[in-house]
C-alpha cells in the first residue's frame, strides 16, 4: 500500500501555487511546499491552500528547494513522495496515473512524460528537452523521453540511499542518474501536453540543458559518485 506525500518547490508562484496545492491535495496529502526565497506571496498562498510550508530566506535554486523538502519528508514513514511543479506545468488531476503505475509494481520511480510538439511550445524549450533527453538516455542506459519533467513519484527508501547535491534544475537529471544507477526501475507514464500559453517557467533552456549534459557526462565517466 502506498502512503505518499507531495513536494512542491516554488519561486514567485503566487498566481499558481494555490491551485497546484489544492489540486494535488485532492489526490495526495499532506502537501509540502518549499518557498525558495520568493518576493511575492507564494508562501502565504500555499499555506492558505493547505500546504505545510518551509521557506528559504533567499533564492537558492530548485535543487536546493527540493533537497530541503526531502530532508524533512525522508524523516517520516512515507513510502513515496510525489514531486510536482508549482507553475501549472502539470495537471494535478493526472496524479492518479502515476500512483496506479506504482501500485501495480511497475516502477520504483514513475515519471510523467509530456507529449512534445514543435508547433505547440517555445522552440528553445522543445529542442533543449529533446537534446537533453537523448543524451541522458544514452548515459544512463534507459529510455528517457522527458528529462526535464518535474512530475514524478519516487519510493522514499531509494531516495534515502543516495546523496543529492544539485542546486538548480539539474536536480531532475541527478535524481534520474543516481536512482537508475542504484537499481531503480524507471517507468514512464504519458501525461497531457502543456498549455504553454498559460504556463511560465523559470528554467533557462540553454544554460540548464548544458548543466544537465555535463552532469550526465560526469556520472558516465566518474562512476564512483553516489
In CATH, what number is assigned to the domain containing residue 115? 3.90.550.10
Query: By C-alpha distance, which of 166, 205, 173, 212 is closest to 64?
Result: 166
Specify the 3-state DSSP secondary structure of 153.
strand
Residue 226 lies in a domain: no
Q: Tell whether 191 is covered by a domain.
A: yes
How many other CB atoms sit within 10 Å of the CB of residue 26? 11
pLDDT of residue 130: 67
Q: Provide the pLDDT for residue 197.
A: 46
- For residue 114, the model assigns a pLDDT of 76
What φ, ψ does residue 72 adopt, rounded to 5°? -75, -50
Asked if residue 193 is part of any domain, the answer here is: yes
pLDDT of res. 20? 97
Q: How far apart are CA 3 and CA 81, in angstroms?
A: 9
pTM of the model: 0.83
Count how many residues are written for the chain.
Answer: 226
Q: What domain range is 211 assigned to?
A: 4-221
Question: Which residue numbers in the chain have pLDDT < 70?
Answer: 116-132, 134-142, 145, 193-226
When divided into structural domains, the chain yields a total of 1
CA distances from 39 to 3, 56, 88 (A): 33, 11, 19
- Tell me the C-alpha distance between 109 and 127, whole Å: 25
Amino acid at each position: 500500500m502506498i502512503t505518499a506525500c507531495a513536494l512542491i518547490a516554488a519561486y514567485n508562484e503566487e498566481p499558481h501555487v494555490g491551485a497546484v496545492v489544492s489540486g494535488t491535495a485532492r489526490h495526495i496529502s499532506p502537501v509540502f511546499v518549499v518557498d525558495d526565497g520568493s518576493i511575492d506571496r507564494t508562501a502565504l498562498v500555499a499555506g492558505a491552500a493547505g500546504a505545510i510550508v518551509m521557506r528559504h530566506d533567499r533564492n537558492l535554486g530548485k535543487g536546493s528547494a527540493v533537497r530541503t523538502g526531502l530532508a524533512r519528508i525522508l524523516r517520516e514513514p512515507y513510502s513515496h513522495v510525489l514531486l510536482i511543479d508549482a507553475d501549472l506545468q502539470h495537471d494535478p488531476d493526472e496524479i492518479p496515473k502515476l500512483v496506479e503505475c506504482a501500485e501495480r509494481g511497475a516502477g520504483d520511480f514513475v515519471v510523467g512524460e509530456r507529449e512534445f510538439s514543435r508547433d505547440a511550445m517555445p522552440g528553445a524549450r522543445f529542442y533543449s528537452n529533446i537534446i537533453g533527453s537523448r543524451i541522458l538516455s544514452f548515459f544512463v542506459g534507459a529510455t528517457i523521453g522527458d528529462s526535464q519533467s518535474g512530475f514524478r513519484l519516487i519510493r522514499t527508501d531509494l531516495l534515502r540511499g543516495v546523496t543529492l547535491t544539485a542546486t538548480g534544475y539539474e536536480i531532475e537529471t541527478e535524481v534520474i542518474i543516481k536512482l537508475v544507477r542504484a537499481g531503480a526501475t524507471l517507468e514512464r507514464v504519458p501525461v497531457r501536453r502543456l498549455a504553454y500559453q498559460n504556463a511560465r517557467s523559470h528554467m533557462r533552456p540553454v544554460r540548464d540543458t548544458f548543466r544537465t549534459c555535463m552532469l550526465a557526462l560526469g556520472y558516465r565517466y566518474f562512476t564512483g559518485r553516489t
